[in-house]
Structures are given as C-alpha cells and as structure tokens.
Chain A
C-alpha cells in the first residue's frame, strides 16, 4: 500500500508547491490526479517517485519510506525520454541492466510484443511516431515490474486518436500485473475512463481539494449517462477548486484593494 502522510514541498525559491497531502492508495488501484496548471501535480508525483523528495511529511510504500528512486516505483513522463543512442529494444531493457543477458532479451521481447512494437525492436527512437515512442516508454517502465507506476500527463502531447488508443492500451497492460497507477492528467475524460478514484487538487499550496470515486464497470463508455454524471461532478469540483484559488488570502486582498485605489 502507498501511504502519503502530510507531504509538503517547498522549493528553494520559497514557492510552497505542496501543503500537506495525505492519501492512501490500495495496491492495484488506479488514481487520477487532476487540477489546474501549477497546482503541484508534478511536484506530488516527483515526491512519490523519490526523484525530488518531499521537504516535510512521508511517503511510505509497503511500510518503507521513499526518499530516493525505488525499484518498486516506475515513472513515465510527458515526453517519452528515450535514449537516442539505444535502439528500441535497448531502451525497453534499460532498467534491467543488472539481469543476465538472456533473461533481459526475453523480457524485452515479451514487453515489445505486449505494446505492439515487436517489429520495431531494431529501430532507433528517432524513427518512431510520438505514440510509438510513448509506448516504448511505457514498456521500459513496466519491464522491471514496478508495484507503483507514476504517469505525469503521459498522453497530453499526442493527438486525440492516439491518446484514446493508448488509454485503452494502458488499461490492457495494467491488467497483466495490476500495479498501482497514479496518473496526472488535465483531461477529465482520461481521468474518468481510467481511474477508480479522481483526486482534484487546488493550488498555492497544492492540496487535495476533492475526491470522486468512479464506480463504473470497465471498459467505460464515454457516451453513457453514468459517465457523464461523474464527469459533471469532476468538472464542478475542478471549477470550485479554481475559484477558491482565485480568492486571495487576506494580505493579498488588502494589497490588491490598495492597488485598486491607486489606479
């Protein structure tokens, strides 16, 4: 189980990006994190991954404190971030550096087949389309069999068709080993199609504003009334999270009132 306990993050420039986030995520659960830009979603994900540890509070995975990148945690970024000097197969096997060659080759081949790129094993990353490259990134993250997979807006740079295609594909891959997924997105549809639970964040400092459970059977029909109902709830929560963020704190209110007088 993944447990966040009052996770806060203050950057060296004194920006408080996270102000005490506490969440519990069950093994195999899919959680979507949604919220306006700059509300600390990436910061939260990086704190969980150990790439950029929290400045206060704890991240526990199965009781173990995470303060640096961990073998049980995989991460996928918005860009594929493939290493251009490795062929597709080399990229997929990147996280298996310590394994015997044969095992590595076998696991890479299986993973490539699983993401539908078996015929591209010997291609260079430059030769791939955006969607293919992101599939390779997904395969690379899944090959070490993480218990938790973090995804930071993984599909937002892709065209609409490729995006829905990869969303379905991600669910398919998830079903193999059922890792915990934490997916940051700014696409409400994506959040509801994939997640068991949607967490809406609000900014300054980043906090969990609301949580909406998505109790719909999979695969989910984007056109159904039930889907639409959940979507309205998420949109409403998002709306409120943003308007509360606009209402300034007391000091700021005075300052802006002062500014208004001046002008």
Chain B
C-alpha cells in the first residue's frame, strides 16, 4: 500500500456512512424486542394451559387473573398507596446511603490516610449480611420507619462507597496533570477533571446501590409493616391470595426498573462521550 492510500484510509475512518447509522437504529429497536420473546411466550402458554383446564392455576395464577388483581388493587387505591409508601422508604434510604457513601468514598479515594483509617473497618462491616442488622436496628430505632430506612441506607452505602472510592483512585493522573499544566484551581480541578472522570463509575455505583435499596426495602417490609408493597406480599401470603403476591412482585419489578431507568436517563446527557466507545 502506498503512503497516499494510507492517508486516505486514515481520513475516511473519521466519518460514519449513513446506512450504518440506519442499521444501528434498527438493531437498537430490535434488540429489546428479542428479550420479550421468552416471557411473553411463557405467559401466553400458561394462560392457555389454565384456560384449557389442564391446571387449576390456584397457586400460580395465569396472567389474566394477575391483571384483574392489579385492576382491583388500583381501583381501591391500595396499589398506589402502598407503592408510594415503599417508594418513599427507598428514596429516603437511598438518599441517606448515597450522601454518606459519596462523602466517605470520596474522602477515602482522595486521601490515603483516611483510606487506611476507615477502609478496613468498613470492609469488615461489609462482610456482615445486612439483614443481620435488623434486630439491632429494631432495638435501637423501633419497628417503624427509622429502622427500615436505616437498613436500606446500609444496603445502599457499600456499593456506592466502593464505587466512588475506586473511581477516584483510578482517575487518570495524566489527565490531572493536564489540569495542572493549565493551572486549574482546586475547585476547577474537581469540576473540570475529577467529576467528569468519575461520573461513569458513579452512575454504575448508584444503580447497583439502588438495586440493593429495593432488595432491602422488600426485606424490611416483609419483616413487619402495615403498609407498602412488602405488606401486600405478607397480606397475600396470610390470606392465601397468590395473585396479590404476584401483583406486588410485578409492582416491585416495574417501579424498581423505572427508578433505575430514571438514573440512567438523567445521567445519559453527561455520559454521551462514553457511548462512542461502546458503539465501536
């Protein structure tokens, strides 16, 4: 290959042909649809099996019964009220957990002294299954909101703390040096270099923290609550109403996924530069 054709090839690398973007758009729509095939098929098959009388569907209600249960719960207002209560608990626990984890994680990532001081203790605490705290929290904080929110906050804390600390430690020092060469002040350094560098890992940490928050709210409510989606689970169990249990599970899944999506959506404009990498 001559030098001239080499440079032409190099220049063409920068532009993306139109048909390739169109193809990308198509796969972007088709890919999620593919994921729906399995659950939808299973639901349809189960509905069919129950309708045909091959199974009673009493313990595993078919989709139509679950849907009817949803409608009933929504009509009575139970669904909305309990969802809001659970959402409120997750929000409070997530907020507290993230706030503390971000501050502690940032300090530990930034300063080796603080890291050596705090990290061993935190790692030791992390080894405790968080549910094991429940009796202590109940003794300290009572059986109402405070102990539930604390449990959720503890669950959220660890993934966020680890994510923030790791992200700050792995900021590319060569880029920090660029900031120094351009004489950025400490505040500018944080805003223009550290924050953007840390953001992708932070969003991932927030999302895994939120996932744990939902896990722990379910646990906390199952251990005793008079309202919330977890209460619906308990209620369904005690009254022998599997449709109510499944409806509550579905509500958990939908609201959990929606909050996760909300974080991803809010962060997307700041992470667009990362997409370029993924599409390659």
Contact = CB atoms under 8 A, between A and B. Distances in A.
Interface of A: 49, 51, 68-71, 74-75, 77, 79, 81, 83-86, 94-95, 97, 120, 123-124, 126-129, 131-132, 144, 159, 161-162, 165
Contact of B182 (A86, A95, A120, A123): A95
Contacts of B193: 83
A129 B182 contact: no
B245 to A, nearest CB: 45
A81 B276 contact: no
Nearest to B277: A126
A78 to B, nearest CB: 10
A83 B180 CA distance: 13
A164 to B, nearest CB: 10
8 contacts: A51-B180, A69-B181, A70-B183, A81-B177, A81-B178, A83-B196, A85-B273, A161-B6
A77 B176 CA distance: 13
Interface string B146-176: 0000000000000000000000000000110
Contact of A126 (B3, B7, B181, B273): B273
B226 interface: no
Given A69-B183, A94-B182, A97-B188, A126 B276 contact: yes
B273 A124 contact: yes
Contacts of B31: none
A85 B277 CA distance: 11
Contacts of B182: 69, 94-95, 97, 144
Nearest to A132: B14
B265 to A, nearest CB: 18
Nearest to B11: A129
B10 A131 contact: yes
A161 B188 contact: no
Contacts of B197: 85
Contacts of A165: 7
Contacts of B178: 81, 83, 94
A74 B180 CA distance: 11
Contacts of B277: 126
B28 interface: no
B25 interface: no
Nearest to B275: A124
Q: Give the secondary structure class of B's interface.
A: helix
Given A69-B180, A69-B183, A83-B175, A120 B14 contact: yes
B276 A124 contact: yes
A81 B188 CA distance: 18
Nearest to A46: B177
A147 to B, nearest CB: 15
Interface residues of B, number: 26
B280 interface: yes
9 closest A-B pairs by CB: A85-B196, A124-B276, A95-B182, A85-B273, A126-B276, A161-B3, A69-B183, A81-B178, A129-B10
Contacts of B75: none
B7 A161 contact: yes
Contact of B174 (A49, A68, A81, A97): A81
A141 to B, nearest CB: 9
A127 B276 contact: yes
A86 B199 CA distance: 13
A84 B273 contact: yes
Contacts of A162: 7, 10
A26 B264 CA distance: 54
B273 A81 contact: no
Contacts of A126: 273, 276-277, 280
B24 interface: no
Interface string B252-280: 00000000000000000010010011001
Contacts of A51: 177, 180-181
B13 interface: yes
A123 B276 CA distance: 10
A94 B13 CA distance: 25
Nearest to A96: B182
Q: Give the one of A75, A83, A85 with max B CB within 10 A.
A: A85
A86 B181 CA distance: 17
B13 to A, nearest CB: 6
Nearest to A130: B10
Given A84-B273, A94-B178, 12 more contacts: A51-B181, A69-B181, A69-B183, A81-B174, A85-B197, A85-B199, A97-B182, A97-B184, A131-B10, A161-B3, A161-B7, A165-B7
Interface string B10-39: 100110000000000000000000000000
B4 to A, nearest CB: 9
A92 B95 CA distance: 38
Contacts of B6: 159, 161
